[in-house]
């Protein structure tokens, strides 16, 4: 009997120990999550504006409840979660702070690259890591206009909006921006931008404010519409860049469009090209499988100008609306050689 009691006591102690370990594990994970949620410490009060102590947290499951339609844009950049802070000052205009936590710095950059309009703002901080020339894409990491500040801060994309712009609300927006920016790394822009040519000849030059990074076909369509379907077989593991080129002769009226895509494998790139050709120009009856190599190119005359494509390993280059065939050849050659 005593032996049974001893065994029962030991079993109870073991079970209790396991429960304690599990509880500590859960608490540690909870604290880790809380710490992650509080990576940015926004002030409770800025100027005359105050916020609640806890932000509203949005994730993939309820993002469409928070924003109607625009949710696909953020999901297309590997969105993790959104923290929303609402600063109010009685009956005066509110200030809304949205902190989008993304999987990588490239994803946060992509959101900023969708629109380069606004006043470039320097929020100071650590030295910048540079690989991509400023001729290819703007150097700005923060842009301000009409009460709205947009910031690329490492893995975070932030939007800070004063409903009504006043000198006081502008000061508050800038103060909150510096809080978001504080101690953040300044990683380099995505490597996918490296192959983009700067000049085609003495006339045609890249329009850096039209340079953007994307993964999703829905995002690409907002930059340059191809189809309501995913005819390039894009996805969250694919990287893409797009830009345009103008000449002084055609300034503001004629642009050559470039799309550069990096797939995971050469096979995926071939599949993407095959699907594109079958869907975009089926009347041409081009069979990209006719050449079983991983490197080939072609130019085609369409109604809106010359179009071309070049496959090189796991990368695919597409050119649209060129007034001359030679310019398509230059773009394809330079992009592939810059790879």
**pLDDT for the residue 40:** 86
- β-sheet bridge partners, residue 306: 301, 322
**pLDDT for the residue 285:** 57
Domain boundary among 122, 150, 181: 181
Same domain, 213 and 98: no
Domain boundary among 146, 181, 216: 181
pTM of the shown model: 0.85
Inside any domain, residue 125:
yes
Structural domain of 122: 45-181
The rounded distance, in Å, linking the Cα atoms of 328 and 339 is 17
Domain boundary among 132, 147, 181: 181
Inside any domain, residue 164:
yes
pLDDT of residue 27 exceeding 80 = no
Q: Is 178 exposed, middle or buried (0-12, 13-18, 19+ CB in 10 A)?
A: middle
Same domain, 201 and 325: yes
pLDDT in tens, 257-286: 999 999 999 999 999 999 999 999 887 656
Using 50, 70 and 90 to split pLDDT, how confident is the model at 201? confident
CATH of the domain at 220: 3.40.1000
171 CB-near residues (< 8 Å, 6+ apart): 47
């Amino acid at each position: 009997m005593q032996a049974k009691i001893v065994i029962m006591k030991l079993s109870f102690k073991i079970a209790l120990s396991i429960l304690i370990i599990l509880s500590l594990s859960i608490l540690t994970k909870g604290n880790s999550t809380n710490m992650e949620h509080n990576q940015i410490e926004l002030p409770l009060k800025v100027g005359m504006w105050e916020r609640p102590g806890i932000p509203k947290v949005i994730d993939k499951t309820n993002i469409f409840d928070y924003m109607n339609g625009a949710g696909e844009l953020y999901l297309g950049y590997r969105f993790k979660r959104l923290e929303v802070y609402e600063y109010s000052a009685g009956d005066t205009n509110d200030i809304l702070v949205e902190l989008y936590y993304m999987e990588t710095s490239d994803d946060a950059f992509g959101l900023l690259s969708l629109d380069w309009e606004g006043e470039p703002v320097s929020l100071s901080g650590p030295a910048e890591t540079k690989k991509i020339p400023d001729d290819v894409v703007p150097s700005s990491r923060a842009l301000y206009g009409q009460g709205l500040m947009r910031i690329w801060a490492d893995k975070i994309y932030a939007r800070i909006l004063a409903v009504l712009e006043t000198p006081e609300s502008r000061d508050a927006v800038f103060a909150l921006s510096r809080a978001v920016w504080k101690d953040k790394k300044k990683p380099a822009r995505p490597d996918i931008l490296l192959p983009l040519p700067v000049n085609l000849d003495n006339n045609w030059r890249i329009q850096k404010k039209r340079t953007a990074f994307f993964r999703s076909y829905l995002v690409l369509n907002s930059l340059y519409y191809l189809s309501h379907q995913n005819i390039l077989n894009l996805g969250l593991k694919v990287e893409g860049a797009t830009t345009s080129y103008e000449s002084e002769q055609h300034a503001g009226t004629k642009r050559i469009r470039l799309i550069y895509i990096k797939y995971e494998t050469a096979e995926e790139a071939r599949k993407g090209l095959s699907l594109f050709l079958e869907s975009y120009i089926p009347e041409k009856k081009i069979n990209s499988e006719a050449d079983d190599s991983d490197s080939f190119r072609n130019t085609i005359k369409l109604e809106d100008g010359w179009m071309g494509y070049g496959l090189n390993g796991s990368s695919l280059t597409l050119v649209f609306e060129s007034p001359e065939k030679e310019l398509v050849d230059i773009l394809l050659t330079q992009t592939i050689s810059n790879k």
